Amino acid sequence: MAIGIFDSGVGGLSIAQQVRTLLPHEDLIYLADSGHAPYGEKSGQYILQRCTTIIQCLIDKGATLVVIACNTATVSAISALREMFPIPIVGVEPGVKTAVKNCKSGVVGILATTQTLKSAPFQQLAQRFSSKIKVLAQACPGLVEQVEALHLTDHKTQALVAQYVQPLLNKGADHLVLGCTHYAFLAPVIKKVAGPNVSIINTAIPVALEVARRLDIEGLASASTAAGGECFFSSGEQDLAHRQFNALWGKAVKVETF
Ligand code: DGL
């Protein structure tokens, strides 16, 4: 039994880290579809096909619960995937509710991929809060590629972040929602641009809590008291995959080809 976690690339490691912290005894299998990233500019049909292949692969490797650690894949495909596969599938969506609850200025900014922002589930989510608060959606093309390339703080990344964040600040946003799991790795740069009075909302902890809850409900939680195992797979170029996982997971790990 293992928890399978995947993303279009290495952004979902930000979710996997919280799952690991909360559930130290569970076995984890992480799959980065870096060879097909970014998903954010692709069609819903393409994303559904990739997710179907990946979830089947995770099940074949022993996953009994799957986390779609990708906002874009969640909004594009989770309903169809839940109908296709007989195991619990946990998704991730931008933390708009938390931002709206704590917002004082009346304006929240959402940073996400083009595909996430134009999807019906996101439109409905934003619509739900639009009578109380102004929800400003900002697509951020290029940021996923910067994280995949491990350019977390370079000049281009800083310039892109400023280009996307500054207009939201100018319109009064006091909360910025990270609506893409890759952006968690850019939080220091985003914070630097946004300044101390703006809160950054990341959904990794709520997702990890939901995973724990589902494992419990479904009777899938590990009974072991030993440290859980970890396996990593990537469809991307292997040298880069090793550097990505070593940098973002925080220790040297073996990455196998998917
Ligand atoms: N980490 C993915 C997300 O949360 C990035 C999608 C992409 O590859 O564009 O949306």
Report pLDDT digits (tens) over 50-59. Answer: 999 999 999 9
Cα(180) to ligand 1 centroid in Å equals 5
CB of 236 within 6 A of ligand 1: the answer is no
CB of 40 within 6 A of ligand 1: the answer is yes
Cα(257) to ligand 1 centroid in Å equals 20
Helical spans, DSSP H, in the chain = 13-22, 44-60, 71-84, 96-102, 114-118, 120-129, 143-148, 155-170, 187-194, 204-217, 238-249
Do 2-92+204-257 and 96-201 fold alike per CATH? yes
Q: How do the domains of the chain map onto residue ranges?
A: 2-92+204-257, 96-201
Residue 208 pLDDT exceeds 90: yes
Which of 181, 202, 207 for mutating ligand 1's site (highest number of atoms within 8 Å of CB)? 181
Biggest CA pair distance of the chain: 51
Distance in angstroms between the alpha carbons of the first and the last residue of the chain? 20
Question: Cα–Cα distance between 236 and 241 in angstroms, integer?
Answer: 6
Q: Report CA 199 to chain centroid distance, whole Å.
A: 18
How far from 11 is each of 90, 160, 171, 231, 245, CA to CA, in Å?
16, 17, 28, 16, 10
Q: If you average pLDDT over every residue of the chain, what do you get?
A: 96
Please give the pLDDT value at position 212: 98
Residue 70: active-site member:
yes
β-strand pairing of 255-257 with 107-112: unpaired
User: What's the fold here for domain 96-201?
Assistant: Rossmann fold (3.40.50)
Cα(12) to ligand 1 centroid in Å equals 8
- Position 111 confidence tier, pLDDT thresholds 50, 70, 90: very high
124-161, pLDDT tens digit by residue?
999 998 888 999 999 999 999 999 999 999 999 999 99
Helix pair angle (120-129, 71-84), 10° resolution: 110
- In the CATH hierarchy, which top-level class contains the domain 2-92+204-257? alpha beta
Asked if omega into 86 is within 30° of 0 (cis), the reply is no
Cα(113) to ligand 1 centroid in Å equals 7
**Average pLDDT value for residue range 15-20:** 98
Nearest atom of ligand 1 to the alpha carbon of 92: 4
Please give the pLDDT value at position 238: 96
Residue 231: active-site member:
no
Nearest atom of ligand 1 to the alpha carbon of 41: 9
Instruction: Enter the tokens of residue 240.
Output: 């880069």
User: 231 pairs with which residues across the strands?
Assistant: 29
Question: Cα–Cα distance between 20 and 227 in angstroms, integer?
Answer: 10
158-198, pLDDT tens digit by residue?
999 999 999 999 999 999 999 999 999 999 999 999 999 99
CB of 138 within 6 A of ligand 1: the answer is no
Residue 226 pLDDT exceeds 90: yes
- Position 60 confidence tier, pLDDT thresholds 50, 70, 90: very high
Q: Which helix (H) or strand (E) segment is 212 a member of?
A: helix 204-217
Q: Active-site residue among 51, 103, 140, 180?
A: 180
**209 contact partners, CB below 8 Å, separation of at least 6:** 22
Which of 5, 6, 8, 140 for mutating ligand 1's site (highest number of atoms within 8 Å of CB)? 8
CB of 116 within 6 A of ligand 1: the answer is yes
Cα(130) to ligand 1 centroid in Å equals 24
CB 4 within 8 A of CB 29: yes
CB of 71 within 6 A of ligand 1: the answer is yes
